[in-house]
Amino acid sequence: MKKVGFFQSVRLKLIVVYILLLLLGIQVIGAYFVGELEQQLESQFKSSVDDRINSLTFSLQNAFEMERDEDDPTLQADVERLITDFTERNARSDDINSLIVMDDSPTVIATAGMTNVDVGEKVSDQRITKVFFLGSTDPSTNSQEYSGAKAIISDEEETVGALYFTAPMNSVYQQLQSINGIFTKGTLLSITVTALLGILVARTITRPLTEMKKQAQVMATGDFSQKVDVKGNDEIGQLGITFNDLNDKLKLAQATTEGERRKLSSVLSNMSDGVIATDRIGAITLMNAPASKLIRQTFEDVQGQSLLDVLDLNDQIEDISEVEEAGSMIIDLSSDDQHLLLKANFSAVEDENNEMSGFISVISDVTEQERVAQERREFVSNVSHELRTPLTTMRSYIEALNDGAWQDPEIAPRFLDVTQNETDRMIRLVNDLLQLTKMDHKETGLMKKRVNFNDFFNRIIDRFEMNKNDKISFERSFPKRSIYVWIDEDKMTQVLDNIISNAIKYSPEGGTVRFSAHSTRKQLKVSISDEGIGMPPDTVDKIFDRFYRVDKSRTRDMGGTGLGLAIAREMIDAHHGKIWAESKEGEGTTVLFTLPLMNQNRGDHS
C-alpha cells in the first residue's frame, strides 16, 4: 500500500482546519475591533480639533468686534497675536498644521503653519468663499487630513471673517498601525500556540486511526490475529470496537472461503473431466489440469482467449451466447498423429441478480467410447453381412433343389456339397463369435503348463506340411537348445493354426513360408512369414480387427471368417504377450508375437 505523506495526512488537515478556524475568529474580531477603534480615534481627534478651533473662532470674533482707537493695535495685529498664541499652546499636539484668517473681502489677514497663501492675498478657493454665503460648513475628511472653514460672525449675525484650518490625521493612523502591529504579533503567537495544541489534539485523534490503518494493512496480507487497542468509548473508540468485530468476521469468512476454495480446487484437480470457466463474453478465466491435458494447452496459454477459438467451435457457434442453447456437442480436436474426440457440456453461471456472468464448460474424452461404438456398429454390420452371404447362397441352392434339381444326379450332389460348406462356414463363424464373446467376458480360463516350444512348434508345422500344396515350401529357423514357456497348448495351437493358415492361403505358387523362433533374456519371439501380396502400411495394424480382410473376395472364397487373427490377438494378450505384423506390398507379410519365458525358479511344477 502506498505510504501517505505528512502533507496528505489527516493530522495536517486537522491542524490546518484548527488554525484556520482560530485565524478566522481572530480576523473577524480584529476587523471589528480595528474598525470601531478607527472610528473612535477619528471621532476623538475631530472633537479635539473642533473644540480648539471653536475657542479660537470665539477669540477672533471678539477681535473683529472690538472698537479700536488710534493707539490700539490693528485687527491684523490682534489676529496674528491670537493665532501665534494658539499655535504656541498647541505646539505639542502638532495636530493642526495650518490656519488662515480672512476678512469679509475675503483677504488673508493672518496665517500660521504650512500654507500656500500670503497675507493680503485674496482667496478664491470655493471651500473658503462659500462660508461667507452659507455660514460655517461641516469639516471634510480624507485619508490624510481633517479640514474645514469656520465663519466669524459678529453680534449682528453678519459674517465679518472666516477661519480655515487643516489638521493632518497621521497620528491617528500611526496609532492604528501600532495597534495593528500589536494585534498581528498576538495573532502569530496565537497561531503558534494553536498549532502546537492542534498537533497534540490531532495526534490524539489520528493515533487510533493510524493503528487501524496499520491493522488494515496487516489484514490485507491475510493475518487476522492482531486487534486494535481501544482506549476510549467515544466515536473513535466505537470505531475501534467495530473494526475488531469486522476483523473477527473477516477471519471467519476467510477461513470459510479458504475451506471452500480448497474443496473446489481438490474437486477440480481430481476430476477426470476437464472444466473451463469463462466470463460473460467468453474469455477463459479458469481451467483445471485435466482440461489442460485434453486440449493440450496450458492455462497460461489460453487465459483471456475466447472459448470458441480454443475449442475450435467457430464453425458451429457464431456467438458465445449460443453455447447454452447448444447444451452439449462432440468436438473433434484430432491431429495428424492423434485421434481425439471431446464431449463438451455447457451451462451458464448467474450472479445474485440472476444475470448471466459467465459459462462453465465440462469436457471429457470420448475418443475410446466413440471408437467402441463405431466398432460395435461395424461388428453388427459385419456379422450381418457374414451371415447373409452363406444364407443367401444356401437359400438359392435349396430353392433350386426344390424346383427339381434334386432329381438331377449330377447337379444335386454339387448343390448339397455347397450347402454343406456354407453351413460349416456359418458354424465356424458362430463358434468364433462365441469364443470371442467368452474371451471378452473373461469366461475362458487358461490351462497352462510347462511346454518345450521348439517341439510344440515343430509338431504344428509338421501337421500343416503333411497337408500343404507341394508348390509351397516351408523353412524353419529354431535354436538347438530347448525353450520352455508356460502356455495353454490348445489356445496356442489355435493361434498358430490361424496364423499359418493365413500364410499358406496368401502364399503364391513356388512361395516359401518361413518359421522362426528365438529367445531373448525374458521372452520368446516367434515369426511366421509368407511371400504373398503383402498389404499397404496403413492397413497392417487393422488385420487384427474383427472381420477385417485385406482381400475380401479371396478370403471369403477360401472360407475365412475374418476372426482368426482377432482371436489370436486375444489369446496372445491372455498369455501376457504381444502380437503384430510387418508387411510390404508385393513382398509378403510377417506376423510376429512374443511370449514370456518360463521362470527358471518355477522348475517343473505346473
pLDDT at 3: 54
pLDDT at 74: 81
* 338 neighbors 325 (Cβ within 8 angstroms): no
pLDDT at 64: 82
Residue 445 has pLDDT above 60, yes or no: yes
Percent of the chain clearing pLDDT 70 (strictly above): 87
Lowest mean pLDDT among 48-57, 109-118, 399-408, 542-551: 542-551
pLDDT at 543: 81
Residue 455 has pLDDT above 80, yes or no: yes
Band the pLDDT of 93: cuts 50, 70, 90. Answer: low
Q: State in Å, rounded, how far the first CA of the chain is from the last one.
A: 78
**Mean pLDDT (whole number) for 492-501:** 88
pLDDT, tens digit (0-9, with 9 covering 90-100), for 256-282: 887 877 877 777 777 778 888 888 888
pLDDT at 443: 56
Closest CA to 278 of 328, 227, 349: 349
Full 3-state SS string of 286-347: EECHHHHHHHCCCHHHHCCCEHHHHCCCCCCCCCHHHHHHHCEEEEECCCCCCCCEEEEEEE
pLDDT at 375: 67
Unique residue bearing C-alpha cell 473658503: 128
pLDDT, tens digit (0-9, with 9 covering 90-100), for 502-517: 888 888 888 899 999 9
Q: Cis check for the bond before 106: say yes or no (omega within 30 of 0).
A: yes
Instruction: Specify burial of residue 479 (Cβ count, 10 A radius: 0-12, 13-18, 19+).
Output: exposed
**Mean pLDDT (whole number) for 158-177:** 82
pLDDT, tens digit (0-9, with 9 covering 90-100), for 295-322: 888 888 888 888 888 888 877 777 777 7
Residue 500 has pLDDT above 80, yes or no: yes
**Mean pLDDT (whole number) for 535-550:** 75
Full 3-state SS string of 220-252: HCCCCCCCCCCCCCCHHHHHHHHHHHHHHHHHH
Closest CA to 134 of 146, 151, 117, 119: 151
Unique residue bearing C-alpha cell 509368407: 530
Mean of the per-residue pLDDT values of the chain: 79
**Mean pLDDT (whole number) for 69-88:** 81
pLDDT at 320: 76
Residue 556 has pLDDT above 50, yes or no: no
**Mean pLDDT (whole number) for 530-540:** 83
Residue 189 has pLDDT above 80, yes or no: yes
Percent of the chain clearing pLDDT 90 (strictly above): 8
Band the pLDDT of 591: cuts 50, 70, 90. Answer: very high
Give 432's contacts (C-beta < 8 A, 6+ positions apart): 561, 563, 564, 567
Residue 606 has pLDDT above 50, yes or no: no
Residue 83 has pLDDT above 80, yes or no: yes
Residue 108 has pLDDT above 50, yes or no: yes
* 594 neighbors 577 (Cβ within 8 angstroms): yes
Q: Which domains does the chain have, with CATH numbers?
A: 11-175 (3.30.450.20), 222-270 (no CATH), 281-286+297-361 (3.30.450.20), 371-440 (1.10.287.130), 449-602 (3.30.565.10)
Closest CA to 515 of 504, 503, 525, 529: 529
Q: CA 134 from chain center: how many Å?
A: 93
Which of 69-73, 109-113, 440-444 holds the top average pLDDT? 109-113
Band the pLDDT of 594: cuts 50, 70, 90. Answer: very high
pLDDT at 485: 92
What single-letter amino acid sits at 386? E
- pTM beyond cutoff 0.85: no
Band the pLDDT of 441: cuts 50, 70, 90. Answer: low
pLDDT, tens digit (0-9, with 9 covering 90-100), for 7-19: 556 667 777 777 7
Band the pLDDT of 557: cuts 50, 70, 90. Answer: very low
Band the pLDDT of 601: cuts 50, 70, 90. Answer: very low
Which of 407-421, 425-439, 485-499 holds the top average pLDDT? 485-499
Unique residue bearing C-alpha cell 500343416: 464
pLDDT, tens digit (0-9, with 9 covering 90-100), for 193-235: 877 877 777 777 777 777 777 777 777 777 777 777 777 777 7
Band the pLDDT of 559: cuts 50, 70, 90. Answer: very low
**Mean pLDDT (whole number) for 183-199:** 81
pLDDT at 143: 61
